[in-house]
Amino acid sequence: MEVIKYTFPPHGDERGQLVAIEARKDLPFEFKRVYYIYDTKDGVRRGFHAHLKLQQILICVSGSCKIHLDNGYETAEVVLDKPNEGLYIANNMWREMYDFSPDAVLLVLASELYTEDDYIRNYDDFLKMIKEQGEN
């Protein structure tokens, strides 16, 4: 499985760092929604879904966390611990976020607005869909 990470160049000086991300310039999609996850308790896993259409970039802007990716054939574990590094997650990719540090803030840039119809929340349904796509 190919894991795609984007590095966003920091701009800074003795005052600190700034990272700017521009839609269609720095990302493979124009983002329509931004949200972040924080204050995740120890031992909690989040996600447990895939999307039919939506693509995402995940950036741990503070602290660290791990991402489990599954495309139906292979899995990968990715550590996010740099505030200027983003993980690209394509549609049709099962994801779980876990092992959040106490100070973790996970920022998500999403290609689509929220719609429940885009979610695949059952892992067996996800695997069935992947298998059917492979047969076509």
- Gyration radius from the chain CA atoms: 15
- Is 11 noted as a catalytic residue in this protein? no
In Å, how far from its chain's centre is CA 114? 15
User: Catalytic: which of 11, 49, 51, 68?
Assistant: 49
Distance CA 79, CA 120 (A): 24
> Three-state secondary structure along 14-38?
CCEEEECCCCCCCCCCCCCEEEEEE
Residues identified as active-site: 49
